[in-house]
Amino acid sequence: MFPNKPKEKKLVYLDHAATTYVDKEVKAVMNPYYTERFANPSGLYGIGREVSKDVANARKSIAQILGAQADTIIFTSGGTESDNLAIQGMAYPHKRNGKHIITTKIEHPAVLETCKFLEKDGFEITYLNVNKEGQIDLKEFKNALRTDTILVSIMYANNEIGTILPIADVGREILKWRKTKNTVYPYFHSDACQAAGVLDLDVEKLHVDLLTINGSKIYGPKGIGVLYKRRKVDLHSLIHGGGQEMGLRAGTENVPGIIGLAKALELSQENKGQENKRLIELRQYFWEELQKNIDKIVLNGTKLDDEKTRLPNNLNVTFLDIEGEAMLLYLDEYGIVTSTGSACSSGSLDASHVLIACGLPDEYAHGSLRFTLGKRNTKEDVDYVIKYLPGIVEKLREISPVNLKYDKSKS
């Protein structure tokens, strides 16, 4: 018998890695651009010029946060387009100098599927391994570098297990390689969509040439993203038309989205220290309560007490002897929203490619849930989850045909 449902079901949203709500301050600055300041920024008339100035100010604001110049900020429709523009836009104009690209096995599908597409067109891709915590080996990376390597694309933080990758170290190795080989290659791209709200984005400190950010992960609007492109980096456009975004992304600008993204990034960077601390404490409480109330569980990713190697809001847990999809659906009946992995793969029943790359067997990967906390989550939310989750797990285990051996040292 599953736990009795509450008379008044509470919504507990724990899938902030998939998307976030729009912050009220962000929504407020966006509103005028729907009904009052609605003009096309390419218009030569007065209201068009005013909107164009607002877009320029938003571009400058984002550039300042990244420690960059305004003309290096390209607005796109989101993280997926930014990743595609960075990788495809770099690959084709530079293929005369090499067709080798390095990435990792745990990248977001926007990167992995783009690389697979390029493989069909004659490019060679090296997919770096990761250890059980989702970390790359810098020695393996250095050994993968070749004279025909034109691009490296390694994410800043993983969307499923929250592991923060050492991209500044990768960037330094690339700089050493360039100096030793007297070349401008490889260029370095990083998908920072999960990191944008919680980590430092200074592109000079990170040593990146291309950086992807989107609005929907930082309490900004959906349908808007940024690709930072270092000056003198040659990209080819994927979308042709009116020549907007310095000729790299045609189409009338999403002005409300641009304004909202700039404000969301500003707020998240201003408040990240205090909010990160709160989320780490809440996550630790959540994990302790899970351990007290449910047996045969395993933490996936890096240790929770190391804020330098794991995003503060991420808790990825395997519940042995259960299918993650079943847990997700039952939790939803109690108003608890979570995920079994990448949101872009939520329609697939395949085991998480990230957890498989970390060395988990299929059965472990299939029994995982990703809880990602956000600004509205409280201790009361965690208590609500703990009230119902243990009973759901117990019942699902009773009817499950799976019975896995449990290594307590991994929990």
Residue 47 Rama label (left phi>0; alpha psi -120 to 50; beta)? alpha
**Average confidence (pLDDT) over 145-151:** 98
Q: Is the pLDDT of residue 411 over 60?
A: no
**Average confidence (pLDDT) over 219-244:** 95
Q: Is the pLDDT of residue 113 over 70?
A: yes
Of all residues in the chain, what percent carry a pLDDT higher than 70? 95
Question: Is residue 344 flagged as an active site residue?
Answer: yes
Could you say which DSSP state residue 102 is in? E
CA angle 161, 103, 266 (to 5 degrees): 60
pLDDT on residue 403: 61
Distance set, CA 110 to CA 75, 82, 114, 193, 227 (Å):
17, 9, 6, 11, 14
Of all residues in the chain, what percent carry a pLDDT higher than 90? 88
Domain 24-267: which topology? Aspartate Aminotransferase; domain 2 (3.40.640)
Q: Where are the CATH 3.40.640.10 domain residues in the chain?
A: 24-267
**Band of pLDDT at residue 362, cut at 50, 70 and 90:** confident
Instruction: Determine contact, residues 77/254, Cβ cutoff 8 Å.
Output: yes
Q: pTM for this structure?
A: 0.94
Q: Return mean pLDDT, the chain.
A: 94
Q: Is the pLDDT of residue 155 over 90?
A: yes
CA atoms within 13 A on the CB side of 164: 20
**Average confidence (pLDDT) over 362-371:** 91
**12-21+272-402 carries CATH number 3.90.1150.10:** yes
Closest by Cα among 312, 354, 356, 361 to 107? 354
pLDDT on residue 305: 83
Centre a 10 Å sphere on the Cβ of residue 223 and count the other Cβ atoms it contains.
16
Instruction: Determine contact, residues 155/208, Cβ cutoff 8 Å.
Output: no
Q: In angstroms, how far is CA 404 from the centroid of its own chain? A: 31
**Average confidence (pLDDT) over 278-283:** 97
Helix (H) or strand (E) holding 174: helix 167-181
Closest by Cα among 370, 369, 366 to 400? 366
**Average confidence (pLDDT) over 159-167:** 97
Q: How far apart are CA 354 and CA 165, in angstroms?
A: 14
- Residue 212 tokens read as 């992807």
- Candidate from 102-106, 171-175, 238-242, 370-374 with smallest mean pLDDT: 238-242
Closest by Cα among 332, 319, 306 to 364? 319
Question: What is the DSSP code string of 116-155?
Answer: HHHHTTT-EEEEE---TTSPPPHHHHHHH--TTEEEEE--
Instruction: Determine contact, residues 158/341, Cβ cutoff 8 Å.
Output: no
Q: pLDDT tens for residues 305-347?
A: 878 999 999 999 999 999 889 999 999 999 999 998 555 555 5
Instruction: Determine contact, residues 68/231, Cβ cutoff 8 Å.
Output: no
pLDDT on residue 4: 87
pLDDT on residue 258: 98
Catalytic residue among 115, 193, 344, 358: 344
Q: In angstroms, how far is CA 63 from the centroid of its own chain? A: 20
Could you say which DSSP state residue 71 is in? G
Q: Where are the CATH 3.90.1150.10 domain residues in the chain?
A: 12-21+272-402
pLDDT on residue 245: 93
Residues 6+ apart with CB under 8 A from 232: none
Instruction: Determine contact, residues 133/309, Cβ cutoff 8 Å.
Output: yes
Q: Is the pLDDT of residue 405 over 70?
A: no
**Average confidence (pLDDT) over 169-192:** 98
Q: pLDDT tens for residues 242-278?
A: 999 999 999 999 999 999 999 999 999 999 999 999 9
